[in-house]
Amino acid sequence: MDMTLVAERGLVLLGCGKMGSAMLQGWLADGLPAGSVWVQDPFPSDWVQQSGVHVNAELPAAPAVVLIAVKPQMMADALPVLAAMGNGETLFVSVAAGISIGTYEDILGENTPIVRAMPNTPAAVGKGITAIVANGPAGEAGLVASEALLSAVGEVVRLERESQMDAVTGLSGSGPAYVFHMIETMAAAGEAQGLSPELSMALAKATVAGAGALAESAEESPEQLRINVTSPNGTTQAGLEVLMDTAEGLPPLMIKTVGAAAERSRELANG
């Protein structure tokens, strides 16, 4: 399924909050005609209403794609409207956290093409990363179509199996919050060394943003980049000896952090 087919048959976006709006903005910028998009959202923003897409209008009977971006707690109200499109050629792509492919198959029919995706919040600035996995009816064609849609807000990677989605949730799904907290704690540490709160926060934000950009663009691994800036017996080494302590430093803490989030994802999926 290519974007031409999406433009011809239509795309339904169910839920247009921050994530849905970021994706819609990306599609329109990439040339998808606004008239090919139907948005269903109880509180559409002014931007959505002025974008030229159909807002809360009658839906096409068999759109090319239905992208589900509502909060999980709103799912029960939203899906019955779409059930008539199941077991057909409409591809369902879900970016709703914690809802399994099996749950969608129960509601829409087991022959419905379904792709489950886990994006993260940097998608709002086109810097997200989304992991996807498909059921049998969706297959390779569904994965390719999903990649085309979701690449509008960042990178897309494929999973080998749906059970890996809990680990993705713990790492990249929840991960931006870990980095935001790291910025907070770095800024607080700068204050503790005598910097003003404003200066310390500016330094912490720019350092994390710059290091991330360098890690993404450099050919070297993050490990090698770390080694490159660590002079023997220098200041960076002194800091890293604390941070890299295998008993009390960042390595065991991060394993526990990602593990706790992944376990919570499993609990939510199991009800």
Residue 271: per-residue pLDDT = 67
CA–CA distance, 142 with 6 (Å, rounded to integer): 12
User: Whole-angstrom Cα distance, residue 127 to residue 101?
Assistant: 26
Q: What is the DSSP string of 66-84?
A: EEE-S-GGGHHHHGGGTGG
The residue type of 96 is A
Pick the CATH number of 3-165 from 3.40.50.880, 3.40.50.300, 3.40.50.720, 3.40.640.10: 3.40.50.720
Helix/strand/coil for 156: strand
Sheet with 65-68: list strands edge to edge: 54-55, 37-40, 11-14, 65-68, 91-94, 114-118, 128-134, 154-158
Distance CA 51, CA 182 (A): 37
Domain with residues 175-269, CATH architecture: Orthogonal Bundle (1.10)
Give the model's pLDDT for residue 81. Answer: 77
Instruction: List per-residue pLDDT tens for the chain, 271 residues long.
Output: 567 888 889 999 999 998 999 999 999 998 999 999 999 999 999 999 999 999 999 999 999 999 999 877 777 777 777 888 999 999 999 998 888 999 999 989 999 999 999 999 999 899 999 999 999 999 999 999 999 999 999 999 999 999 999 999 999 999 999 999 999 999 999 999 999 999 999 999 999 999 999 999 999 999 999 999 999 999 999 999 999 999 999 999 999 999 999 999 888 877 6
* Assessment of whether the complete model's pTM goes beyond 0.85: yes
Instruction: Map out the domains of the chain as residue ranges.
Output: 3-165, 175-269
